[in-house]
Amino acid sequence: MLHLHQWVPTHRYPTQFQPETLSISDIHIFRSDLRREREREREMARGKIQIRRIENSTNRQVTYSKRRNGLFKKANELTVLCDAEVSLIMVSSSGKVHEYISPSTTTKQLLDQYQKTLGIDIWSSHYEAMQQHLKKLKEVNMNLRRQIRQRVGDCLNDLSFDELRGLEEEMKAAVDVIRQRKVRMISNKIDTTKKKVKSQADVNMSLHELYAREGIHYE
């Protein structure tokens, strides 16, 4: 039996577990309990940081920048210390993209390895969507080309009577718009020419008056 009054606070334990009756195993148990209790007290004294969205935009951006740099530093350490291939892609709240990739590889190589390892194809759905979009664009392009040819008198054999009449009405409306634009341009040119003629006449009149004052005669 051991007498350990110096290191065991007697007020922490019941009477039956006072130091006079402790065995070596009891001492180890109480030491562990005491250590955990002191750690809990230190945590309570410090207070725990709540993980939640930072409302202030400036503070949020500063925190993002610091933690991003910390993640990139850890990624670089993994690359150097463990010969690992690491890729990190981060997008900030402002839409800026930041990336870390191990010098020995590329993002595409890692994605290809990811697909191969898991037996999946992350591009297939995107590729199919692009193919559908391209097909629609081709159809729109073909329709536009056909409409252009119809408006110069080509590709009219497949049109019905109503379609031909509709095309005729569209052409008449287009001709009216073109004619109005032409008349407006002619009118503007006439106005501009009149202003130039009037300006020249004013200049001539000024010269006549100047010559008259100076007594200059000219034929």
Residue 73 has pLDDT above 90, yes or no: yes
Task: Measure Cα distances from 51 to 54, 60, 71, 89, 94 in Å.
Answer: 9, 12, 17, 22, 21
The band of 13, judged by pLDDT with boundaries at 50, 70 and 90, is very low
Show the tokens assigned to 123: 């591009």
Q: Is 87 helix (H, G, I), strand (E, B) or coil?
A: strand
What would be the CATH architecture of the domain defined by 57-122? 3-Layer(aba) Sandwich (3.40)
* Residues of the chain above pLDDT 90, percent: 32
pLDDT over 60 (residue 104) = yes
pLDDT at position 202: 87
Question: Which pLDDT score, from 0 to 100, does residue 11 have?
Answer: 46
pLDDT of residue 122: 78
pLDDT band at 127 (very low <50, low <70, confident <90, very high): confident
Contact criterion met (CB below 8 Å) for 1 and 23: yes
Q: 158-169 burial, b if ≥16 CB within 10 A, otherwise e?
A: eeeeeeeeeeee
Residue 209 tokens, joined: 């008056």
* 119 Cβ contact partners less than 8 Å away, ≥ 6 residues apart: none
In sequence order, what are the residues at sequence separation of 6 or more whose Cβ sits closer than 8 angstroms to the Cβ of residue 59? Answer: none
3-class SS at 90? strand
pLDDT band at 6 (very low <50, low <70, confident <90, very high): very low
pTM: 0.40
